[in-house]
Amino acid sequence: MRLAFILDPLDSLKVAKDSSIAMMRAAQAAGHAVWAIEQSALHYSSLHGVSAEARHLELSDDDTAWYREVLRHDVRLRDFAAVIMRKDPPFDFDYLASTWLLERAAAEGAQVFNRPAALREHSEKLALLEFPQFAAPMLVSGEMARLHGFIDSQQDVILKPLDGMGGHQVFRVRHDDPNRRVIVETLTQHGKRTIMAQRYLPEIALGDRRILLIGGEVMPHALARFAPPGETRANLAVGGRGVAQELSPREREIAETLAPQLAKRGLLLVGIDVIGGYLTEINVTSPTGMVEIAAQTGFDAAAMFVAAVERELDKSSEA
């Protein structure tokens, strides 16, 4: 089968730890033809429907020259067996427009994972509002006075934009921080932008734990991410160290509650973040962690994902 992956530019991917590359390698190992598409290459015409300039790749295990381009040409998305959306945030207007195009492609017969409408409906920061029983105290607001009230009540908080990733513009602010006002002003653009405030969880010292949900099933290992010295953020993108660990009973409870619900909505791959037993984010765009878990445990989450895609395609063919 031909599988298309919508990605950031190939040369920008970090080969040694990129989950998308792991998925493409797993797809090729399973006998599928791998194609790569950049978000900007998506287009629609009344003659052909939703199409894209696509590159057929042959992948290797060499991290220096990890792919070879076999050919490239425009392909209708419905002519692929599956289209896997792996473009990184930010979830800006171009990303939003891509989900509209992908939804049109699905109406034309393309099988798209994760489902475009589900990507739009599940903000990676706000989706956890559906599961308040698992969330730490938080506030979502653009009102500066309200945010300052939350900081005063909680004493120690994390502030972050709703459209960021990889720890970008994430601040820890204590009630006595002399820079708290300028931080709130900057993040909210003087009250014009809504942000999220969450109580700071000191258990982050034990790891910001990423748990992957694949096809409604829970991976047996979490990737505990530890912040580098002098840093609050544990994101791998800012130098965090990832250590694969078994799930705690609380983490399994959270994951097993969310996994079937999200899978029914067309979210084939989800990465949830848990700190100290609290759910902090639900990542649906391009969750990572597969490479580190495979290297440390031997568990091949990328192959598990490809198998989940195959099952979904089998279901579609039987319907």
- Known catalytic residues? 125, 160, 210, 225, 233, 273, 281, 283
Nearest to 43 by CA among 53, 29, 55: 53
Beta bridge partners of 106: none
Nearest to 48 by CA among 106, 105, 115, 95: 105
Nearest to 139 by CA among 123, 118, 159: 159
Compute the distance between CA of residue 86 and CA of residue 162 in angstroms, rounded to an integer: 19
**Residue entry with tokens 């607001």:** 141
Which CA distances in Å does 310 have to 65, 176, 214, 293? 28, 53, 12, 22
- Strands (DSSP E) contained in 8-81 are 33-38, 42-45, 49-59, 67-76
- For residue 27 the two structure tokens come to 């797809």
Length of the chain: 319
**Residue entry with tokens 């500066």:** 144
